[in-house]
């Protein structure tokens, strides 16, 4: 870990944008990770980022963790 936000695990960092490693979609960052987080929330909801609130106690389905690999992203982008 280099102290960067964990969203960069899913993006290739560039100067003012990040490239999604799954669909190669470019997302403007404007020097913060808000857009990247929003992108992940929309495109890859199974990915948990640190900013997301953890579901309390029971009710959390373990299916979320079952599919954490790539290749399942619905590319309705571009």
Residues that bind Zn ion (CB under 5 A): 20, 22-23, 25, 43
Closest separation between CB of residue 76 and Zn ion, Å?
10
Provide CB contacts within 8 A for 13, sequence distance 6+. 4
What minimum distance in Å lies between the beta carbon of 12 and Zn ion?
A: 11
Provide, rounded to whole angstroms, the least separation between the CB of residue 62 and Zn ion.
24
Residue 23: burial class (beta carbons within 10 Å; 0-12, 13-18, 19+): middle
Task: Return the number of the residue (51 or 75) whose C-beta is nearest Zn ion.
Answer: 75
Residue with Cβ nearer Zn ion (55 or 76): 76
Q: Where are the alpha helices (DSSP H) in 4-48?
A: 34-43
Place of tokens 């936000």: 5
């Amino acid at each position: 870990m280099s102290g960067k936000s964990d969203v960069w695990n899913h993006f290739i960092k560039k100067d003012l944008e990040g490239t999604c490693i799954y669909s190669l979609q470019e997302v403007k960052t404007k020097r913060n990770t808000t857009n990247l987080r929003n992108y992940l929330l929309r495109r890859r909801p199974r990915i948990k980022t640190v900013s997301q609130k953890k579901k309390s106690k029971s009710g959390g389905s373990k299916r979320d963790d079952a599919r954490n690999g790539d290749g399942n992203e619905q590319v309705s982008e571009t």
